């Protein structure tokens, strides 16, 4: 496994912060592909790189499932978080 680049590390930190903001402050249990792409853009990644990195970080930064709209041209459109995974890690308070 190669060492993450500075851009990948920045994306990883920003993605984790975005997910925890969604879970703990907005009380949302999902993130859209567009939101992942926006975090990637802010971190210096293209849309494709951001969505690839997001999927690669499953089990590291996030856990859950992805789903796709019937008419979508993308492999996934929304990631639904496994809230209990975040709770076990101490990243989300238990109800």
What's the pLDDT tens digit per position in 35-76? 999 999 999 999 999 999 999 999 999 999 999 999 999 999
Pick the CATH number of 6-89 from 1.10.10, 1.10.443, 3.30.450, 3.30.565: 1.10.10
Which single residue is written with the structure tokens 């969505």?
51
What pTM, to 2 d.p., does this model score? 0.92
Which single residue is written with the structure tokens 């971190």?
43
pLDDT on residue 84: 94
Report CA-CA distances (Å) from 86 to 4, 62, 64: 23, 8, 10
How high does pLDDT run on average in the chain? Answer: 94
pLDDT at 1 over 60: no
Residues 6+ apart with CB under 8 A from 87: 93, 94
CA geometry: angle at 59 spanning 31 and 52, to 5°? 60
């Amino acid at each position: 496994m190669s060492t993450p680049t500075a851009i990948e590390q920045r994306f990883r930190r920003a993605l984790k912060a975005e997910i925890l903001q969604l879970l703990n402050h907005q009380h949302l249990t999902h993130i859209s592909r567009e939101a992942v792409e926006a975090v990637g853009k802010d971190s210096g990644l293209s849309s494709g790189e951001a969505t690839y990195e997001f999927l690669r970080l499953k089990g590291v930064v996030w856990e859950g499932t992805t789903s796709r709209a019937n008419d979508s041209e993308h492999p996934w459109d929304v990631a639904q978080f496994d809230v209990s995974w975040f709770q076990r890690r101490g990243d989300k308070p238990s109800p």
